[in-house]
Amino acid sequence: EVQLVESGGSLVQPGGSLRLSCAASGFTFSSYEMNWVRQAPGKGLEWVSYISSSSSIIYYADSVKGRFTISRDNAKNSLYLQMNSLRAEDTAVYFCASLIVGATYLDYWGQGTLVTVSS
């Protein structure tokens, strides 16, 4: 069974940092591209970042560029999101989602982890 389990979300002050993790199981993680998608309270889905299967290609949404860093460890079947200089508008549930190489749709999603940026 495919599982994506996010962790690391918490309450953090504006300007602070947080590192999210996503543990993958039940599929060949190294064959999948990965994404972070977030959803602010009561709002729609917002794509945050993408990383290719080999980490050679990385993209960020303009809203997080220069502040967030995506990475992965295929040996540990894990995806990460380092979030720095956090702002109130970064408050959201953060989902990790997989994308098989060559596809353009997100086939598996985790349940999400809540990040709250507030003083």
Partner 1 sequence: YELTQPLSVSVALGQTARITCGGNNIGSKNVHWYQQKPGQAPVLVIYRDINRPSGIPERFSGSNSRNTATLTISRAQAGDEADYYCQVWDSSPVVFGGGTKLTVL
Where do contacts with partner 1 occur on this chain (CB under 8 A)?
Answer: 35, 37, 44-47, 50, 59, 61, 95, 97, 103-107, 109-112
Place of tokens 């540990």: 76
Distance CA 34, CA 86 (A): 22
Quote the least distance from Cβ 118 to partner 1, whole Å: 21
Specify the residue, 82 or 100, whose C-beta has the smaller distance to partner 1.
100
| Nearest Cα residue to 64 out of 99, 89, 27 | 89
Question: By the 8 A CB rule, do 75 and 24 touch?
Answer: no
Query: Quick one: how far is CA 34 from the chain centroid?
Result: 8
Quote the least distance from Cβ 47 to partner 1, whole Å: 4
Specify the residue, 16 or 71, whose C-beta has the smaller distance to partner 1.
71
Specify the residue, 17 or 57, whose C-beta has the smaller distance to partner 1.
57
